[in-house]
Structure 1
């Protein structure tokens, strides 16, 4: 599933082609995604895209009348193509622009979404999200206060979108390894120093992943079709049974909160 860096890379890729462009039409070939495509999207003709933003893993295409909310789901991707480019089997939606381009949404598993948010309102999917991890609101003091008294393991805690958005499974594993924190440690047991280290690691890992173009493991590719290269820099994720890059001990795998977790039993404690 595309995580925050992959979605941010997609946003950066499509923004130059969409910003201040007039929408000529929308072609909806398959309305049955994770949820039905919002009926309001059929009335986008003539609207100008004023901003291309990201909130958590949602892409937001803002117009004067409201906002198109796009979620890539498990296997969704966006490409900017010439307007006459033929569509394939899983190309479910095209947003046709006045500059001769079209934003094409491809989603083999159809777990993504195209929804509508009226101007001045907040969609229910966006209403209870925590702060963005790369912004100042996400700090060690904020996290320590949120974790006070919590017995839940630190890994699912930092993956909770109500606490902080966008720290998906890959980047949670990598950040905890960089911080030398065992993923099963109760969130409420972390010290102030550990929180400072972990928050800094999360910011650094996510920023580096964005710089590298995301992590291509199965389905993700950038808006221009190129793969993301952060997978080449993964230290523990998906490396169970391999030697730790720091100490040489064997990387372990364990299910934590129904998700595969990877860690070094020597370096992380």
Structure 2
């Protein structure tokens, strides 16, 4: 599933082509993905200008403003969804479920597994935060609010292992499996350690490690896993920079120890027992 870096890369890729453009039409081919695509979009969106292209966690937010219309188009890529620009003449394929039609081109949403969403939240930009899918989202790990004091306090009563806690979107958004493993490796913290047994000083290491890992992933174009590609069809390369992820049985790049793989909350975790404790 695309995580924060992949969605941010997507946002940056589509923003120059969308910002300030006027929507000429909307085409809905699949009435329902994970949720029903509002049929009213076909009438609401034409004539609206896209005034902002934002990201909240793993959701893309397109703020739209038109005569008598103000709202936010909320898009989630699901497990296999992607957005790409195509020409008006390009015929839709089997899994092309939604089009945002502009004067010069079409932004097409493709989702073979239909786990994505295309929804609408009326009102000013701040109203998007009240949508049920966004209202329970945690804080952004690249925001100023995300600090060692905050994370240490948030984990003070959590006795579970730190890695699944970092992946809890109700606490912090967008830290997926790869990025949780890599952040803990950078910080030298075992993914098995209880969150409330990590010292305040070590959270001073973990918070910047998370920021650095996510920023490096964004710079590398994200991680291309399964069906994820950029809006221009390109791939992300962060996974080939990984220190521990998917390197079970290989030498640790830091200490030479052997990287191990374990299962946590149904997901594969990679770490070095020699230098993560």
Normalising by structure 1, report the TM-score: 0.97
In the alignment, which of 213, 216, 222 is matched to residue 205 of structure 1? Answer: 213
Query: Aligned residue for 1:26?
Result: 26
DSSP-derived class of the 2:133 partner: coil
- For the 8 Å contact 1:61–1:68, the answer to whether it is kept is yes
Q: CA deviation at 1:31?
A: 2.0
Q: CA deviation at 1:38?
A: 1.9
Which runs of no fewer than 5 residues in structure 1 stay unpaired? none
- Distance in 2 (CA, whole Å) between partners of 1:123 and 1:217 is 29
In the alignment, which of 219, 222, 234 is matched to residue 214 of structure 1? Answer: 222
Q: CA deviation at 1:85?
A: 2.0
Q: Which runs of 4+ in 1 moved over 6 A?
A: none
DSSP-derived class of the 1:23 partner: coil
Q: CA deviation at 1:19?
A: 0.6
Query: Aligned residue for 2:8?
Result: 8
- Distance in 1 (CA, whole Å) between partners of 2:269 and 2:239 is 16
Q: CA deviation at 1:86?
A: 2.3
Query: Aligned residue for 2:148?
Result: 140
Q: CA deviation at 1:102?
A: 0.7
Q: CA deviation at 1:53?
A: 0.2
**Mean alpha-carbon deviation: is it higher for 45-54 or for 118-127?**
118-127
Query: Aligned residue for 1:61?
Result: 62
User: Is 2:127 the counterpart of 1:115?
Assistant: no
User: Is 2:99 the counterpart of 1:91?
Assistant: no
- Distance in 2 (CA, whole Å) between partners of 1:231 and 1:149 is 33
- For the 8 Å contact 1:93–1:105, the answer to whether it is kept is yes
Between Structure 1 and Structure 2, how many residues are aligned?
A: 268
Q: CA deviation at 1:249?
A: 1.9
Within a 5 Å distance, the mapping from 1:1-269 to structure 2 comes to 1-42=1-42, 43-64=44-65, 65-98=70-103, 100-120=104-124, 121=127, 122-269=130-277
- Distance in 2 (CA, whole Å) between partners of 1:76 and 1:96 is 18
Deviations 1:74-128 (A, max 9, x none): 0000101222222222111110012x11101111111100011111432011112
Q: CA deviation at 1:256?
A: 1.1
DSSP-derived class of the 2:212 partner: helix
- For the 8 Å contact 1:241–1:250, the answer to whether it is kept is yes
- Distance in 2 (CA, whole Å) between partners of 1:34 and 1:240 is 34
Q: CA deviation at 1:39?
A: 2.6
- Distance in 1 (CA, whole Å) between partners of 2:135 and 2:157 is 25
RMSD: 1.1
- Distance in 2 (CA, whole Å) between partners of 1:262 and 1:55 is 27
- Distance in 2 (CA, whole Å) between partners of 1:169 and 1:232 is 15
- Distance in 2 (CA, whole Å) between partners of 1:108 and 1:240 is 31
- For the 8 Å contact 2:239–2:245, the answer to whether it is kept is no
DSSP-derived class of the 1:200 partner: helix
DSSP-derived class of the 1:73 partner: coil
- Distance in 1 (CA, whole Å) between partners of 2:264 and 2:90 is 44
